[in-house]
Structures are given as structure tokens and as C-alpha cells.
Amino acid sequence: MMLVRAFVSHYRRHPIQLAALAMMIVLATMLWTGVTVLTDQARNSLFQSEEAVAARVHVVRSDGEPIGVNDFVALRLAGACIAPWLEIQRPPPEGRVIGIDLLAMGCFGDAAPGGEAGTLDGAPFVDISEAVRLSGEEYDSRLYLLAASENPALPDGYALREFSLGPATGELADSFLLNLDALSLLVLLITGLLVRSVHRLGIAQRQHSFDLLHRFGVPRRRVRQLLALELVVLTGVCVLPGLWLGAQLAGMLGGGFGQALDSLFDVTLYAGSTESLPWQAAGIMVLLVLAVCLVDWVVPQTWQDAAVSGRGQLVAVAVLLVGLASVALAQGLAGVFLGTALVFAGTGWLTPGLLAILAQRRADGAEVYGTGPLIRWRLRELAVMFRHLALPVVALQFAMATVLAVQALVTTFENTFEDWLAQRLEAEFYVQVPPGADASLAAKRLSELEGIGPWHRVIRGKARITAGDSGKAMGAEGESVSADLFALTPIGDLVSDWTLLASVDQPWQNLERGGVMINEQLARRHRIEVGDPLRILLAGTEASTSVVAIYADYGRPAGEVLMSGAELPENFSARFESFSVNPGELAMADISEQLGSIWNTPEVTVRDNASIRALASQVFSQTFLLTRAISILTLVLAAVALLIMGWVFFTTRVWYFRLLGIWGLPASAIRSQLRRLSVTLTLTVTIAALPLGIWLTWVLVSRINPLAFGWSLPMDLYPFFWLELGAIAVLTGLVIAQLMRRQLVHRVSDKQVEA
């Protein structure tokens, strides 16, 4: 017991260090837990959503009338295995609700959505009676009658049609989660560095106590065992509140994050994932703390000395160069992530030593040119601090670089997305062609209307493309790939202002004359360039053409070909058709009524593109809510850690600062020097983070985005945000100086300093 009391006496004398270490563990656990809960929740939701909507068919009426309850009764009496699926579209934050009848799904067996066990028992799924009640509250609703894929022939007047609540999540959602995982691992790295920095400072200050215990007969192995036990106990105590705070953080962010997944990727964030604490995160944090704090016992001292030697610096440069080359040349995401990790390792290895060398050389140069002694003192003191605060300095550098890169990526994406969405939704209204209706009759009627504004018909389907005669495109002659088809007719003012990534002269006129445009995804995946010849197979008819432009197509991984609808063969079967219309001098209600009379349907689906654009912009902003929150919290954590470490380190050198007073420097001047020193420290770290942040921005927009999504973004840096980071650094330095002022007042009075 006496040994334990002697062992922990350091924290009785320095309670701030104990509080700092505990706070680092709590905050690290909170961040890691919050990210883990959300990513696991989203990943499980991906699986459940795919299970819920994949490979389903539903019953439709042959006369085009909507399905109703009477149809359900008639089909069940006829022996058909069907089940109702009532979808209610509510505005955010409530979101979509799906009413189901698990009893009716009993005849599906294993083919039922969610499996035979009926796992569709959480939000957004409710009993159909509850959904019927909600549908009467002025929400948009639609009833589907699900049918088993092996369903026998239906009675006359009914047919089967493929059923899906939305597009498959595919590579886009997977890539989103992959990038989220990468960000969470970076958070774990930064927090590990911070925990180690606080712990190592305490070990350095306690070394004399450990030596004294050894002289009194306590074996060094026993000291290490007590250190390990101390860490296990401290981590065990601090992990519990961290887990709870992380679960609360996930709950706060889950609303916007869930809406983003649901609206952008058609992935519902299922409820219930945050009801229990993720104990696996606690185990990871305990292992992390033990690993980063006790790694010195595993790594031989000779290796540690070599790491900071000249040869070690050369190894760090080699690691950095290998990482840069790997990122630039890698053909897959794994290579890019590995190279990025090497670049971060090499940069963190080199930064403190380089900053210390630069500060020392500036001090030596200032001495040569006769600069004032206080400036030389600050520079030499700064060099000492860079060496002793290496880990928190590197952690703050990583955090600021990450925040800078994420901010640039999100801001660039928001601006680019807004411009792109404005081009795609140039028309005021969107009109959906009902299944089985003749779109050509509607097109003829629109062309005859006087006073109508610009409009075009949109035809979507599938096509196969083959390398042209030169064999340049797609690598080899005869190679054929499937692509989405996007056809427009007529080619008019609604698309002529599109911003194209690359094009020939007069691209839209060339499109009308038989050329094609392709999206960036298809061009990158198969190395197709403007001017390359292509052969397109449509409905058994092959046509030779050439690429006249490449256009941006954000938000999905599929390759796409854009062509004039006039070039489609007569027997081409469209999968989906719509009209984009500017009503001009006419009322949209009158146009909708005329189209309804042509199609012999009482209801025509007309959507206001302005509201669609506003909703899409809102959903997109929510998508990056999590990354913004995590990056900012990581920056705050790193800044707090540097603040605590700087304060503790300054405290250990109070005796040194007292010498300034003994040498005749007034108390106000001492405080001024401390302010300049602390602000220079934090601001220098921020400046050192800029090159890493700019490079990481390039990696995100030019390497990870094309490999994960198939499209790239422009490289914008937003220097104004750099000023915001600089302001945070200056504020952190001023807080450190203010704390040191209180420490000086506590340790020595102004009279003692001035004496």
C-alpha cells in the first residue's frame, strides 16, 4: 500500500496532469465511439435496405388505374401470394414511413423482405394500420402490392412489374462509408498521439521518483507493472463516460446523417443502434492507450535514439517519398490510403525536428546580425519547445491539415454541386411519362403549343458501347461495355449552357448531327477521350459515332452516354421517359391537363424543379454534417491538448522565466514575451500544417474521389479558411499565455520578479 501511495503521489502534486490525461482518454473515446456507432449503423442499414428492396416485384393494374384495397382483397381471394406495402413520404425530420403487414407476408417464406423472421421491426417500418392513419395527415402516400417472384399467373387485368423504393446504393454509399472509416482512423491516430504526449510528459517528470524507488529496493519491473496497472485503471474509469458521451454524440448527429443516407443513397438509418453502448470501442481504446503509452518498453532504446538521429531523419525522408509516390501511382484505394499513411508518418517524424532546427538557425542568424537578445531568447526557447512538445505539435498539425482538407473538399463540392444541379434542373417543371403511355404523342402536342417555353423529352435506357475502328478507346478492338443511355430531343436552350469538362467546337450542334457525349465516370474508367470513335448498340442496331464532349455527372458511379433522341432506332424500348418544360406564356396546369388527355390518365406527375433543387441542396449539406463535426471536434481536441501540454511545459520552466526578472526584465515585459512565445508556437504549427493540408486536399479531389466515385472535383483551396485556422491558433496561444500569467503570479510575486 505504501508503494502504491508513493507511486501515485505525483498526481497529488500535479492534479492538472491527471485531469489532462483523463480528459484526453474521455474525449478520444467519445469521438471514436460516436464515429463507430454511426458507421456501423449506416453499414447495417445498407444491408437491411438492400434486403428490403432488392429483387422485388409488385402488382399493377393493366388499365393503368392505381392499386387499391379492393384489388388486394380480390387477388388474395384468387389465391395470389401478395402483401401490402404502404409508403408515406413525410418531410424532414420525420422522414419516410413504410407500413407493412407481417401476417400477409407469411406466404413469402424466406423470400419476404427482411427474411422469414420478419426483421423489418424498426423505423421506418410500422404496422400498416399506423401507416394508414399517417396517410390521412396530408402526406404523399402510395400503396404497393408486393408479390413473390415465383408468383403464379395473376387474374386477368393484373400484371407484375419490378419494384424498388429507389436506386441501388452501390459504390457511392460504399465509398462514402469507406471515407468515413478513413477519417475515423485518422481521429484515432491523432487522439493516440495526444494521449501519449500527456502520459510521456508525466513519465519524464516522475523519472526521479522512479529512480528513488529503485534505490530503496523496488525492482524496475515492479515499477513498470504499476504503471501498466495505473493506465488500465485510469482508462477503465475514463472509458465509461467516453462511451456514453460518444453514444450521445451519435444520437445528436444521427438525425441529419440518417436523412442524408435516406435521401441521397436511399439508405434508411434504422433505429435501435444507439440503445446499447458499443463495448468493442471500449476494448479498442484500452488497447490503444496501453499501446501508445507503453510502446517504449517494446521498442529498444537504441531504435528510439536512432529515430531522432541523422540516419533516422533520412529514413523519415525515404518514408515520405515512398508515400508520395504510392499516392501518385496507386491504381486502387488501398494503395492511396497506404501511401497517405506513409506521408503522415514521414511528416510527423520530420516536423518537430525541422521546426526546431529552423528556430535554432534563425536564433543563430539573429545573433550574427545583432538582433535583440529577447528575440534570440524566444527563438531558442521555441526550438526547445518543439523538441519537448513533439507529439502534441504533430497531433495539432495533423488535425489542422485534416480540417483544412475536409473544409476545402466540402466547400468545393457544395459550390460545384449547386452549379451542376442548376444546369440539370434548368427547366421549371418536370413531367413524368406514365408507364405504357406514348411519349411521342405528348412531344407532338408540346411542339404545337403556341407560347410555350423551351422544353425537351428525356429518354433513358441501356446501351452497349464498343471501341471504334482505331481501337484506342477502351483499350482493345471489340471490347464491349454496358452503359446508361441518356437521350434528349430536341437539343435546345435547356442544355446548351452546360459546363463541359472537355469538348470539340460546337459540341451541341455535333450532338444533333449524330455525335455522343459521355460522362466523366465512363471516360475515366475506359480511358475515352474527346474525338475517340465509338460504336453504340441500341435495340439490335449498331451505329458508328464519335465522342464530342465529356460532362460532369456527380453523385453516382455508373457510366452514361448522352445522345440526341432523334438518333434512336424506332424499335428502341425506353426504361423511363419524362419531359422538362418551361411553360413560358402558358400555365403549367393547362399543359398538364392536355398531356393527361393525350395519355388518357386523370393524374399526371408534375414536379417543381425549384423545390427539388432546394431539397437536394439541403440533403447534400446534411451529408457532410458528420465529417464537418468530427473534423472540428478533432481540431478542438488537438488544440486543447496543445494548450494543456504547453501550460504544463511552461509550468516546469517557471524557474527559468524567473531568471528574466532577476536579469532586470519587468513583469509586464515577461508576460509579453510569454504571449509572443506561445502564439509563435501555435501559429508556426498552423503554418506547418498548410502544405500537408493542401496535399491532402489534392489527394481527396484528384485521387480518392476518381478512384472511389469515378469523378473528380476542381482543386480549390479557400485561403480565407486558413485565416480562420490562424485565428484559432492565435487564440490558443493567448490562452496558454494567460494561464502562464496566473502561474507566475502564483509562484512568484511581481516584486520578486522585478527584483
Does residue 234 carry a pLDDT above 50? yes
Cis peptide before 124 (omega within 30 of 0): yes
Are the C-beta atoms of 302 and 308 separated by less than 8 Å?
no
Residue type (1 letter), 468 = G
Task: Provide the total of helices (H) and of strands (E) in the chain, helices listed first.
Answer: 24, 16
CA atoms of 530 and 532, how far apart (whole Å): 6
Task: Report the length, in residues, of the chain.
Answer: 755
pLDDT by residue (tens digit) across 56-91? 677 878 776 778 888 888 888 888 888 888 877 666
Long-range own/partner contacts, residues 284-288 (CB < 8 A, 24 or more apart): 284/32, 284/188, 285/25, 285/28, 285/29, 285/32, 285/235, 285/239, 285/242, 286/232, 286/235, 286/236, 286/239, 288/28, 288/188, 288/191, 288/192, 288/195
What's the average model confidence in pLDDT over 543-564? 85
pLDDT for the residue numbered 216: 81
Average pLDDT over residues 126-154: 74
Give me 26's grid cell: 474521455
Q: Which residues of 485-508 are buried (b: 16+ CB within 10 A; e: fewer)?
A: bbbbbbbbebbeebeeeebbeebb
Mean pLDDT lowest among 41-55, 130-144, 299-313: 41-55
The set of residues, in sequence order, having a beta carbon less than 8 Å from that of 726 and lying 6+ positions away, is 683, 686
Question: Taking the model in full, what pTM does it have?
Answer: 0.67
Confidence of residue 275 (pLDDT cuts 50, 70, 90): very low
Distances (CA, A) of 463 to 64, 466, 467, 500: 28, 10, 13, 22
321: pLDDT strictly greater than 90: yes
| pLDDT higher than 60, residue 45 | no
Q: Label residue 152 by pLDDT band (50, 70, 90).
A: low
Of 413, 370, 545, nearest to 469 (Cα)? 545
Q: Name the band, by pLDDT with cuts 50, 70 and 90, for residue 171.
A: very low
| Mean of per-residue pLDDT scores for the chain | 75
545 membership: H or E segment, kind and range: strand 541-551
Residue 323 is predicted with a pLDDT of 92
pLDDT in tens, 447-466: 888 888 899 998 888 888 88
Whether the CB-CB separation of 82 and 106 falls below 8 Å is answered with no
The 10s digit of each residue's pLDDT in 86-114 is 877 666 556 667 788 878 877 777 666 65
- Residue 573, classed as helix, strand or coil, is coil
Predicted pLDDT of residue 371: 64
